[in-house]
Amino acid sequence: MLVFDFVDLFAGVGGFHAALSSVGGRAVQASEIDPKPAAVYESNWGLRPDGDVRALAADAGRLVKDHAVLTGGFPCQPFSKSGRQLGVAEDRGTLFHDIIRILQAKTPPVVMLENVRNIAGPRQREAWHGVVDGLRSAGYRVSSTPCVFSPHLLAPDDGGAAQLRERVYIMGVHVGRERALLETAVAPVVANAPQNGWDPWRWRVADHVLLEEPSGADRQRYAVDGVEADIINTWNELLALLGPDVRLPGFPMWEPMWRVRRPALRALPPWKQEFVKANHQFYLDNRGPIDEWRRARRRLPIARFPMSRRKLEWQAQDGERDLWQHLVQMRPSGIRVKRATWTPALVAMNQTPIYGPGRRRLTPLETARLQGFDPSTFSFGGQAESLSYKQMGNAVNVGAAAYVFRRFVEANAADIAAHGPCGRSVVETVLDHVPPAVEGAA
């Protein structure tokens, strides 16, 4: 049976392991410093990850096994919008240099890295150029343009998932330093667009995410009730009072800004001033129903809502004006509502989407399904569910990673195969496992 070997750095619970295994890869080594996901990795894949990647990189020639592909979802916090965005200036960002040390010592034909989209954003321009330049200096031909892709752009048969999760995939083939520094006009291997004729609006959370409905005490763990239900019902009351003829705004509705006199703006940044002005005008245009909504007697008055629950971002377009009919995400920045087609990106923080029609949150195995893991075989073991949600928020999406990898191998087959048996094992295995997608396929 054809097979190629890969090393799985920053392995988490095994997103890259599942992705490359699906096209004939065999993990010969993994590294994960956090013992919690490392334990999940070992129980699912039968391979115990090594610890700190820095220890491996310090003596990579001896400690890192020979391999054809190096993968790594290297830490995203230095680049994430939810972090301080210090990039390579933060200690975790310097772990990228340990990847370079391993590449220089082992020169596998292919490297595949993954990170948040923000790594190529305007505030991280220096960090992005540092990543590209570092890989080219190590002899890897890479694109200057980030390959951004999301699993919701793939059909289920192509490994897609009902989750909008844009990530940057950094793909490199070893061609030597001279060529890598010259051959810079390289396009991303996959466009950030629906693939093979797939229409993302065909996704349905009910059909493509939900598993067997939990019951009894199990269901109660995921049920939305108490204060959260009161908050959702209160916002529903406002939508009913506004009526169908009032167009809901594209900006978040911010209840504390709804007053007759416009709040002071001088100390606010320009973008926030515009946001406050828009909310003030929305209040003036709809003062009657808003004031009636505020005066209503409730078990939990609006004034006692946490500040993050006094802001509603309606992204369900012209869908039914009932939060219980959509996906609801309780975010630190407010309540976000969208249609139950695909979910927002899972994150490591406790923002698990609420499936409104079921009045419950998604279960850990349902979030695993969103990340492309097989819920019939994948297991979190007996760990706390909060850890499982966090691990899924950090995971590499299996289907998206596998698809990008396949396209890259197809596009760079000649240069990969030029590495002899090691490179040919990648090309022959991948092409044998997955035929090229047919344009226009459903």
* Residue numbers annotated as active site: 76
**Residues contacting residue 396 through CB under 8 Å, at least 6 positions apart:** 12, 15, 16, 19, 73, 114, 167, 371
Bridge partners of 337? 314, 328
Backbone angles phi, psi at 170, to 5 degrees: -105, 110
**Residues contacting residue 26 through CB under 8 Å, at least 6 positions apart:** 3, 4, 5, 6
Judge whether 159 and 400 are in contact, CB under 8 Å.
Answer: yes
Q: What angle do CA 208, 212, 216 make, to 5 degrees?
A: 140
**Residues contacting residue 383 through CB under 8 Å, at least 6 positions apart:** 36, 39, 40
**Residues contacting residue 1 through CB under 8 Å, at least 6 positions apart:** 24
Helix axes 398-411 and 421-433, enclosed angle (nearest 10): 120
Buried b (16+ CB within 10 A) or exposed e, 71-89: bbbbbbbbbbeebebbbbe
d(CA 203, CA 170): 27
3-state secondary structure of 259: coil
CB atoms within 10 A of CB 4: 28
Give, as one character, the DSSP assignment of residue 202: G
CB atoms within 10 A of CB 374: 13
What length is written for the chain? 442
